[in-house]
Structures are given as C-alpha cells and as structure tokens.
C-alpha cells in the first residue's frame, strides 16, 4: 500500500485514553439493570445474561497477575470511521493485560466466524492501520449471526484457536445478535465471552447509557464539509437549488447534524414528517413555499437536505407501498400479462382509493420504479428511489402551477447530490479516533473482568477524553420486543430523532431564519493538526443532548 502523506503523518497520532484506563483497573458494579421494555419476556429469553449490573472501571492500586487472553474480533455491517482504532485499542488493551495475549480477526464480517476464515492480527499489521478509516484490515460483511448452527460452527474455531472472548463491532442488529450469542455461549458453558461495540454512522444506536455510536462524528463532518462547499457555490453563483440526499434510512440524525453544522435553507426530518402525518404533496408544498418566499426577495437559489429514508416515513407512501407489495404478490400473473403502457392504469384501478390517489401524485418515473423494480422477495425497492430528484421534480411542477396563478415569478433550476459512501471510510476525526480506541481498550478490560453480554461504553463524551468514564452496559438493558418479519423478537430499540430532544428543538428554533435568510456556515474539511477548537469538537447533536442531560 502506497501511503499518502497524511496517512504517514497521522499514523503517529496517539489517541487519548481516559485517565482511568492509564494503568490497572478494578470493576465497580452498579445496581442490577432491567431491559428498556418487555422485562418479563426479555428476562425469559436471556436467563443467564439478564439483570446484570452496569460496570464502571476505577483505578486499581496494583495490577492483578493476568493470564494471556486470546480474543477474536468481527466487523459487522456497513463501514464507519474508527473501526481500525477499536481494533488497535483492543489489541493494546489485551497486550497491556499480558503481552502474550493474541488477537484474531475474522474475515469479511460474521461470516468469517462461521466459515472459519480468520487471520492473526500482529503488531506490525495493527500499526499499519492505526488512525485510518475503512474496515479493510479484516473486511466487513452482513451475514447475520442468528442460528444455533452458526453459533456451534463458530465455537469450533474459537476452541481451536483457544479464544475465550469475541468482540463484535456492529450496529443495533449486530449487537442484538451479540447478546443472543453471549446468552447461548453462557447457557452451554462454552467459556467464550461476547462483548459488543456500538458502531454506525447513522447515529441510531444510542440511549440513556450509550451517548453515541462511533463513526457518526466523522461521517457527518465529511458530509458537512461537502455540503458547506456546495452552499458556498450556491451562494456565489446564485442560480441553483441544490437537493442533497444524505445516507441514513431509519433515522434522520445525519441530516439533522449536518443542518446544525451548515445551516441550509431547508432540512427535512423524517420523524417530523411521520409525526405530523404529512403527505408527499405537503412536503413538496413546504419546499415550494420556501422557494417562492426566497424568489420574492430575488433569491433564486437554496439548499435542501433530505434524509435517505424520507419516503418510507411518509405515512401515505408507506401505506401505498404496503398495498402495492400485497397487490403485486397476490396478482403477480395478472400483472405480468398487462402491456407496459397499460400498467399504470391497471395499478390505479386495483388500489384502494386513497393509495391510488397517492400513486397518481407521483412522477411517472417513480411510480414505474415502485411497480417494476422489486427485490428477490418481491418487495418494492424503496432505496432505489432517487428522493432528491423526486422532490425537485415535484417542486418544479408545483412552481409551474404557482407561476400560472401569478404567485411565483422566480427562476428555478435544480442540482442533485447524494452523500453516503463519501463518509463511511474517512480517516476518523480526533473524536472518533479517541472514542474508538477507548472503546476497544475498554472491551479488553471487560474481557479481563470476565463478563459477557456487555457493550463497551465510554461516557461524558463532551468532556476531554481524559475525563471519560469507561465501563460496560449489559446489552439486555437496551432491549425490548419488536415485530420483525412477522415475529416478535428481542431487539435493541433504534434511536430515532426525538422531536422533543435538544438537537431537534435547536433546529426548530433556527430554521425559519435559515429558510429566508441565507445563513450558510462552511465547516470545511476535518483537521487533524490544528488548534483544539478546530480539531477536537464532538458533533453538535452530542453537545446539545449532553448539555440538556446535565440540567
């Protein structure tokens, strides 16, 4: 690998550990915990790992004599900046415990455990990846660890390598599966601990004990950099409306954070659209009204941020998609026989009145996508819909109508962008570099403490890393029962944007100013070497959330 100048310089960065981890630690146990919901059912499903206490590490006077630890590590799901630092923190942690400890990486995600694909991660390999983005040290994958067969197959290789603990770095689903695996290995007396690490750029794995997931900070900073650049272009050329879609299908945290950073004219928050039961036409109307209001002041340009998952949050569209899925499954043969040009009419005549109206309101291209592009299960592929183009096109039509009515005299031209892959593998910001390294190091301490079914945890994140509180949270504490694929399952509750939360309220307070005024802020690229106020700031979401929590 030919390294860039930045990579070489950045390799020397020493992540800051919490003070407490700088030397031997002892465990301080809190009170027994309960799950976030459905306590009885969760307790029944996790008899061996339910009700465990929260753990906080404290400084110990002298180091206990510790045996070497053989540990396995897995990267699960989509990439997030800082994954390599979790692994290097874990490596340094188990080496600090005993220099003969060994770390094995399972390759290309959880599938590597099941299929026995692994490699030992030695110091020279680890050193190549410190403070770098990507998951390429061992690769990642989306295989779900769910079945007893997988667990048993995995145990074979864990035993062969004498691995006594497995660290799973993943999102809410992967950590749910880590908890199930921990329970299973505990139940059968396998002698393998399982520790989870909270990862996802989407920011939807957090709760009152996990302040944020890693990667969110860096990814939103990369998106904010390019959004800021586009805003500056927009404000220089003064002739385009830029519609910018941002990754994140389940929650709008990314869009909200970027809005707080960049102050665009408009940012749509899916959770608000759902709560207000807005139709697609109403969302379009709101944007069109803003375009008109700006045009009235001679400002024929602007920036709109759109969360990737918007379309699935619009209740009317959600109902349409549900009925379409049922309809096209029930009458698949009949539909297949319909001539292409007659398909639209066929669908409208077969839908309920309300859903037919929603379908008719969609641009032809999108409507066609909904009925033709289907995944292997026969379901509509919502992720293929280019929401940014859908909205700008519908806004354009609405403006044409308003112009005919004499209510709009501006010019309207749109540009489209989608940012996702640009940020998932960026070199971690100082925040994520420190946070991830600390999470990995803490995972090592949890392993040494002999616990299982815990998630590595660092808290007090808006303070300097030396003051962070390190410990572990029983994963079952975050769980409740939810319907998934028709069955009730124990899962970690996904954190959506809270409409009474401090970040959203801050946005609501400012957004009318941003809409008409041009209040763009230009965050610029992530800096690694400059003054602290430039290099070390955590996300605004975290800052506002934690500020509120203190009072």
Positions in the binding site for its own copies (CB under 8 A): 1-10, 78-79, 108, 132-136, 139-140, 222, 225-226, 228-230, 232-233, 235-238, 242, 261, 263, 415, 417, 421-427, 519-531, 533-534, 537
Residue 3 C-beta: closest distance to its own copies, Å: 7
Please say which residue, 235 or 480, places its beta carbon nearer to its own copies.
Answer: 235
d(CA 261, CA 503): 11
Please name which of 128, 60, 122, 135 lies closest in space to residue 95, comparing C-alpha atoms: 122
Residue 529 C-beta: closest distance to its own copies, Å: 3
DSSP 126-175: HHHHTT--SSTTT--B-----SHHHHHHHHHHHHHTT--EEEEEE-HHHH
The total of other beta-carbon atoms located within 10 Å of residue 48's CB is 15
Quick one: CA torsion of 447, 449, 451, 454, rounded to 10 degrees?
-70
Q: Which of 92, 202, 204, 432 is catalytic?
A: 202
Please say which residue, 151 or 241, places its beta carbon nearer to its own copies.
Answer: 241
d(CA 492, CA 489): 10
Please say which residue, 289 or 521, places its beta carbon nearer to its own copies.
Answer: 521
Please say which residue, 164 or 518, places its beta carbon nearer to its own copies.
Answer: 518
User: Residue 23: helix, strand or coil by DSSP?
Assistant: coil
Residue 255 C-beta: closest distance to its own copies, Å: 17
What contacts 550, CB < 8 A, 6 or more positions away? Answer: none
Secondary element (H or E) of residue 353: helix 353-361
Q: Check if 202 is active-site.
A: yes
What contacts 377, CB < 8 A, 6 or more positions away? Answer: none
Residue 240 C-beta: closest distance to its own copies, Å: 8
Residue 524 C-beta: closest distance to its own copies, Å: 4
Residue 531 C-beta: closest distance to its own copies, Å: 6
How open is the CA angle 395-398-404, to the nearest 5 degrees?
140
Please say which residue, 463 or 529, places its beta carbon nearer to its own copies.
Answer: 529
User: Residue 474: helix, strand or coil by DSSP?
Assistant: strand
Q: Which residues of 482-499 are buried (b: 16+ CB within 10 A; e: fewer)?
A: eeeeeeebbbbbbbbbee
Q: How is residue 133 written in tokens? A: 């983005």
DSSP 65-109: P----EEEEEEBSS--TTHHHHHHHHHHHHHHH-TT-EEEEETTS
Find out whether 480 and 524 touch, Cβ atoms under 8 Å: no
Find out whether 456 and 446 touch, Cβ atoms under 8 Å: yes
Please say which residue, 237 or 336, places its beta carbon nearer to its own copies.
Answer: 237
Residue 227 C-beta: closest distance to its own copies, Å: 9
Please say which residue, 13 or 359, places its beta carbon nearer to its own copies.
Answer: 13
Find out whether 504 and 497 touch, Cβ atoms under 8 Å: yes
Please say which residue, 33 or 521, places its beta carbon nearer to its own copies.
Answer: 521
Find out whether 258 and 222 touch, Cβ atoms under 8 Å: no
- The residues annotated with a catalytic role in the active site are 202
């Amino acid at each position: 690998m030919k390294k860039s100048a930045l990579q070489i310089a950045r390799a020397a960065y020493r992540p800051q550990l919490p003070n407490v981890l700088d030397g031997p630690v002892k465990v301080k146990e809190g009170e027994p915990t309960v799950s976030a919901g459905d306590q009885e059912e969760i307790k029944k499903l996790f008899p061996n790992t339910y009700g465990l206490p929260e753990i906080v590490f404290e400084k110990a006077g002298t180091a206990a004599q510790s045996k070497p630890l053989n540990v396995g590590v897995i990267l699960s799901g989509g990439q997030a900046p800082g994954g390599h630092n979790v692994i290097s923190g874990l490596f340094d942690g188990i080496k600090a415990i005993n220099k003969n400890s060994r770390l094995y990486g399972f390759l290309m995600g959880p599938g590597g455990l099941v299929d026995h694909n692994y490699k030992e991660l030695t110091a020279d390999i680890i050193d190549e990846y410190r403070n770098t983005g990507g998951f390429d040290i061992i690769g990642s994958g989306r295989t779900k660890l769910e079945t007893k067969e997988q667990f048993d197959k995995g145990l074979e290789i864990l035993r062969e390598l004498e691995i006594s603990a497995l660290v799973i770095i993943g999102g809410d689903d992967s950590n749910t599966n880590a908890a199930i695996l921990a329970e299973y290995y505990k139940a059968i007396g396998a002698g393998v601990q399982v520790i989870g690490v909270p990862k996802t750029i989407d920011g939807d794995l957090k709760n009152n004990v996990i302040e944020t997931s890693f990667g969110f900070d860096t990814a939103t900073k990369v998106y904010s950099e390019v959004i800021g650049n586009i805003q500056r272009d927009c404000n220089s050329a003064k002739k385009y409306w830029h519609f910018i879609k941002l990754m994140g299908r389940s929650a709008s945290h990314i869009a909200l954070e970027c809005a707080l950073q960049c102050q665009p004219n408009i940012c749509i928050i899916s959770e608000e659209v759902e709560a207000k039961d807005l139709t697609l036409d109403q969302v379009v109307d709101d944007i069109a009204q803003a375009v008109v209001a700006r045009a009235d002041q001679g400002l024929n340009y602007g920036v709109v941020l759109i969360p990737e998952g918007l379309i699935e949050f619009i209740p009317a569209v959600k109902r349409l998609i549900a009925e379409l899925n049922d309809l096209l499954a029930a009458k698949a043969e009949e539909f297949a026989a319909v001539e292409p040009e007659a398909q639209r009419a066929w669908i409208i005549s077969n839908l309920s009145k309300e859903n037919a109206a929603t379908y008719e309101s969609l641009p032809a291209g999108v409507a066609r996508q909904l009925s033709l592009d289907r995944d292997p299960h026969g379901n509509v592929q919502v992720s293929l819909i280019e929401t940014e183009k859908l909205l700008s096109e519908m806004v354009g039509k609405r403006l044409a109508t308003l112009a005919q009515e004499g209510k709009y005299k501006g010019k309207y031209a749109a540009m489209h962008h989608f940012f996702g892959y640009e940020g998932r593998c960026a070199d971690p910001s100082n925040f994520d570099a420190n946070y991830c390294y600390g999470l990995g190091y803490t995972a090592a301490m949890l392993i040494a403490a002999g616990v299982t079914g815990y998630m590595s945890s660092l808290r007090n994140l808006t303070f300097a890393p030396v003051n962070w509180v390190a410990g572990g949270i029983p994963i079952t504490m975050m769980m409740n029962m939810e319907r998934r694929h028709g069955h009730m399952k124990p899962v970690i509750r996904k954190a959506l944007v809270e409409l009474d939360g401090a970040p959203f309220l801050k946005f609501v307070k400012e957004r009318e100013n941003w809409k008409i005024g041009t209040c763009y802020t230009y965050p610029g690229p992530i800096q690694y070497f400059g003054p602290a106020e430039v290099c070390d700031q955590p996300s605004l979401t975290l800052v506002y959330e934690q500020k509120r929590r203190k009072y």
